[in-house]
Amino acid sequence: MLKAKWTRLLATFLATVIICQWLLPAAVANAKISSKFSPQVVVEKFTDGENLQRSHFLKQYAQQRVPSKKMLTYPPSRKSNQVDNYHGTVVADPYRWLENPDSAETRSWIEAQNQVTSAYLDQVPAKEKIRQRLTKLWNYERYSIPFKEGKSFGDNSTERYFYFKNDGLQNQSVLYTLKTLDSEPKVLLDPNKLSEDGTVALSGLSISNNGQLLAYSLSTSGSDWQEWKVRDIETGKDLPDHLKWIKFSDVSWTNDNQGFFYSRYDEPNNKTKLEDTNYYQKLYYHRLGTPQSEDILIYQRPDQKEWGFNGGVTEDGKYLIISIWLGTDSKNLVFYKDLTNPKSAVVELINKFEADYSFIERDDSVFYFRTNFNAPRGRVVAIDIEKPAKKNWQEIISQSAETLEGVSILNNQFIADYLKDARSQVKIFDLKGALVREIELPGIGSVDGFYGKRYDTETFYSFTSFTTPGTIYRYDMVTGKSEVFRQPKVDFNPENYETKQVFYQSKDGTKVPMFITHKKGIKLDGNNPTYLYGYGGFNASMTPSFSVSLLVWMEMGGIHAMPNIRGGGEYGEEWHEAGMKFKKQNVFDDFIAAAEWLIANGYTKSAKLAIAGGSNGGLLVGACMTQRPDLFGAALAAVGVMDMLRFHKFTIGWAWTSEYGSPDNPEEFKALYAYSPLHNIKPGTAYPATLITTADHDDRVVPAHSFKFAAAMQAAQAGDAPVLIRIETKAGHGAGKPTTKTIDELTDKWAFLVRTLDIKV
């Protein structure tokens, strides 16, 4: 395996935390998601004139109370005369000024909107009860999957284990290390000590081959920008190395432990770095003890501004595998460089964006890849770099009915992670592709892990389901036995809940699976409050996972439903492509059909049905509520992509054109304009109760999407249902959000549904 695997492990752990906390599937952090992407601390500084303007703007809201929905008054949102011509179609954009998150006018608007939202939610008598229950349930120990690094030399061994642990209510999880599994753990890095409010987060790590050095990255206030540092593991002290302007990059050490490879962008404009587009990523080598300005440029493509590079060193240290990505498309290129020859050139092994290729391991000149080339659900192939033509490729593990998510090598065997109807299935094969065994799992759920080196016989994995907190297992590759290593204790009885998987028909007849979880014994009388959550994009597979947030929802009598709609990766690349670009409407149709199925089968009714999603899932919510405002009682859109005509003009948004299409293309513009949530709001329409959530400096999906959507919705709303926006400060797209902020947001979310869906608590 490549040596960047621990960064991916951290990404998986952090994504799992995010999913468990507030069900935002980080389309861009989870190792099982193909997307490479899915803020700085804001210090408010106003001039005297700006203070006066803000004071006048906020005066009427400072003491506002909201006794009823009908009396709800929104802050004014100025309309400009901004219009744009898209291929002959004139489109108004009256709230363009909200694209500047730091202007005095926008800051005043944010503060006023938050005051109105807080006043509304403070009227919910059950709000404090919800907060207390969330806090109590949250307060349990959580562990990541342990991993091992270093060299074993008897008494002089540098081998050690690493894992993350959260005591319960810590804002950030702490990184520990220990020599043996039964020895006393030592704190290696505690992010909670890096900021008073927990908004500085550990966002990446990589351990040197000798187990003595830790390269780690920090992100501030949820920003995608990372700063990398190096720590001596034995002393706990940082070395002078400090690298900046890094995004969407792993770090991979060379075998001599003297440095590592990473990718970065040129230094941005400091004032606009959270909005400006990111182009021309470059691959570098950093040698310890030298300034970043002396880092060696390994590879760049001045002729390809959208190409990104991820360099990983093979386990034996002999090759650098360079994966080249283009936007969020799962198709990539693969180049390599011989590290045994300092003068070696970068060799183009796969030089067409036609499929996904994930490097697994090598035997001499034979490289193993997991790919979906001519196999949309995935297979394993062997490519001899001395005879790289496709006609010479050998198929090792053929495509099956299940979707092959990932492959690693342990005990000199392939461990293959499959999805069978969106639930995990793990199989072991020998190096010739013969099935050795299927690993028996505890039930229907999701598995992650099986990390390690090629000849390791010990590994670890986690298992979780909607009613099973993430449990860590130790697996013996020789005997095939699993034993519980860490099992969290949460204050609930899983026997009181049940999960079922149903299949329903979408608008065009496609069969779509959906998980439904709730308390046992509910009556199918159509009166159950129901939370329908979806994503549907970027090849992201939505699989069962435990969530304290959903547990509180179900304790209040709620039902949780999660359909595996098209656009995801549950059934391979064909399922993904059926929800891309011109076929994006399939995603919305699948979600709407899920809602109609729940109503038709007595689970709920429109007045009791809430839809929710984050990021691309926020787009899903925005599109569905504007297409079928009659179908839902409430809508919760988190950090959503709402303006489909300007998404590509900010930060990494250009990369999503491979998924959505580009407004600059006349035909793709028509498709985007047809469903763009912002542009399909119709004045005089009774929309469902809406809570939009974002962060003032999200530099993944910039907050302007949510700001403009909220302003337009408030102006258009004809019914009594509220349209509110909750704007978090000192936060970004979701990754690294402190526990305190997460509990605050979840409390507000459930309080909003308790009030708008009339739930008795």
| H or E segment to which residue 693 belongs | strand 689-695
Once rounded to an integer, what is the mean pLDDT over residues 420-446? Answer: 96
Cα separations (Å) of 149 from 152, 161, 213, 257, 423?
9, 7, 10, 12, 30
The type of residue at 639 is: V
Domains of the chain: 112-135+495-755 (3.40.50.1820), 197-445 (2.130.10.120)
User: Residue 44: what pLDDT?
Assistant: 24
Q: Is the pLDDT assigned to residue 270 strictly greater than 80? A: no
> DSSP state, 738?
-
**Helices and strands, number each (H, E), in the chain:** 12, 39
| H or E segment to which residue 511 belongs | strand 511-519
Torsion sign across C-alpha atoms 502, 505, 507, 508: positive
Q: Which two tokens stand for residue 556?
A: 């209040």
Q: Is the pLDDT assigned to residue 22 strictly greater than 60? A: no
**65 Cβ contact partners less than 8 Å away, ≥ 6 residues apart:** 119, 123
Q: Are strands 497-505 and 332-338 parallel, antiparallel or unpaired?
A: unpaired
Q: Which two tokens stand for residue 420?
A: 């069978």
Mean pLDDT estimate for the chain? 89
User: Residue 70: what pLDDT?
Assistant: 52
CA–centroid distance for 650 within its chain? 18
CA–centroid distance for 649 within its chain? 21
Virtual CA dihedral for 518, 520, 523, 526, nearest 10 degrees? Answer: 10
Per-residue pLDDT tens for 502-544? 999 999 999 999 999 999 999 999 999 999 999 999 999 999 9
Polymer length in residues for the chain:
761
Virtual CA dihedral for 96, 97, 101, 106, nearest 10 degrees? Answer: -130
Q: Which two tokens stand for residue 38?
A: 């899915």
Per-residue pLDDT tens for 664-676? 999 999 999 999 9
Q: Which two tokens stand for residue 525?
A: 């009388």
Q: Are strands 689-695 and 723-728 parallel, antiparallel or unpaired?
A: parallel
Q: Is the pLDDT assigned to residue 652 strictly greater than 70? A: yes
The type of residue at 542 is: M
Cα separations (Å) of 379 from 138, 315, 459, 477?
39, 22, 23, 22
User: How far is the C-alpha of 708 from the C-alpha of 96, rounded, in Å?
Assistant: 8
Q: Which two tokens stand for residue 704?
A: 């302007």
Per-residue pLDDT tens for 172-211? 999 999 999 999 999 999 999 988 877 788 989 999 999 9
User: How far is the C-alpha of 313 from the C-alpha of 606, rounded, in Å?
Assistant: 53
Q: Which residues are catalytic?
A: 615, 733
Q: How confident is the model at residue 48 (pLDDT cuts 50, 70, 90)?
A: very low
Q: Which two tokens stand for residue 273?
A: 């770095």
Q: Is 758 left (phi over 0), alpha (psi -120 to 50) or beta?
A: left
What ranges make up the beta strands (E) of 534-600?
A: 559-563
User: How far is the C-alpha of 244 from the C-alpha of 227, rounded, in Å?
Assistant: 5
Once rounded to an integer, what is the mean pLDDT over residues 558-564? Answer: 98
User: How far is the C-alpha of 738 from the C-alpha of 731, rounded, in Å?
Assistant: 9
Q: Which two tokens stand for residue 674?
A: 């047809």
The Cβ of residue 304 has, within 10 Å, a number of other Cβ atoms equal to 13
Name the 3-class secondary structure at 228.
strand
User: How far is the C-alpha of 228 from the C-alpha of 250, rounded, in Å?
Assistant: 10
User: How far is the C-alpha of 248 from the C-alpha of 203, rounded, in Å?
Assistant: 11
Q: Is the pLDDT assigned to residue 29 strictly greater than 50? A: no
User: How far is the C-alpha of 732 from the C-alpha of 729, rounded, in Å?
Assistant: 8
User: How far is the C-alpha of 75 from the C-alpha of 57, rounded, in Å?
Assistant: 8
Q: Is the pLDDT assigned to residue 637 strictly greater than 50? A: yes
Q: Are strands 530-533 and 609-614 parallel, antiparallel or unpaired?
A: parallel
Residue whose entry in the numeric block shows the structure tokens 């109370």: 65
| H or E segment to which residue 18 belongs | helix 5-22
